[in-house]
């Protein structure tokens, strides 16, 4: 499955804690930028809701809060859906679906990369895939 052409602009952008710009993003910052720049929709920034990328409790609480604001769980991912990944049993990480199997994400100590839902690193951590209604 080919990746959409717009994805190349995000691959390699450095991870920056609470980042929301072309110079660096965190996982939700990536979603905010993609939704704004590709889908022309605004998502809540959320960067004030957690102390830093290691504030797992704050991030999980914010993901749970945002998930309740117009997001519906889907079993058939499409481009633009948000995949929520559980780390240590809590929803702590997210990515933007590129197609039904691949997603973009930014992790601490890394840059924006694409990965696959069936990658053993992620397949056991999928908490859910959500579409904004």
CATH number at residue 55: 3.90.1720.10
Average pLDDT over the chain, rounded to an integer: 88
pLDDT at 87: 83
Cβ-count burial 32-65 (b if 16+ within 10 Å, e if not): bbbbeebeeeebeebbebbeebeebebbbebbee
Predicted confidence (pLDDT) at residue 33 exceeds the cutoff of 90: yes
Are the beta carbons of 12 and 111 closer than 8 angstroms?
Answer: yes
Q: Give residue 8's pLDDT.
A: 96
Q: What are 94-108's pLDDT values in tens digits?
A: 999 999 999 999 988
Tokens 């601490």 label which residue? 108
Q: Which residue has the higher pLDDT, 59 or 98?
A: 98
- 47 or 30: which leads in pLDDT: 30
Structure tokens at 26: 């965190």
Please report the pLDDT score of residue 9 as a whole number: 96
- Cβ atoms of 115 and 102 within 8 Å: the answer is yes
- As a whole number, mean pLDDT of residues 27-44 equals 92
Average pLDDT of span 48-74: 73
Q: Which helix (H) or strand (E) holds 130?
A: strand 126-132
Percent of the chain with pLDDT over 90: 61
Domain ranges, residue 127: 10-132
In a domain, 2, yes or no: no
Q: Evaluate whether residue 95 is within a structural domain.
A: yes
Predicted confidence (pLDDT) at residue 46 exceeds the cutoff of 80: no
Task: Answer yes or no: is pLDDT of 67 > 80.
Answer: no
**Residue 1, domain member (yes or no):** no
Tell whether 34 is covered by a domain.
yes
| Total of domains in the chain | 1
DSSP conformation class of 81:
-
């Amino acid at each position: 499955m080919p990746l959409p052409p717009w994805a190349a602009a995000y691959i390699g952008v450095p991870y920056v804690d609470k980042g929301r710009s072309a110079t660096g993003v965190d996982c939700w910052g990536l979603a905010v930028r993609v939704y704004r720049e590709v889908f022309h929709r605004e998502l809540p920034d959320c960067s004030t809701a957690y102390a830093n990328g290691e504030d797992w409790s704050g991030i999980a609480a914010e993901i749970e809060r945002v998930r309740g604001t117009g997001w519906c769980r889907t079993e058939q991912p499409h481009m633009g859906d948000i995949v929520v990944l559980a780390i240590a049993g809590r929803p702590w990480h997210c990515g933007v679906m590129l197609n039904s199997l691949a997603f973009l994400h930014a992790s601490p100590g890394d840059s924006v990369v694409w990965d696959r839902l069936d990658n053993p690193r992620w397949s056991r951590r999928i908490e859910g895939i959500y579409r904004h209604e």
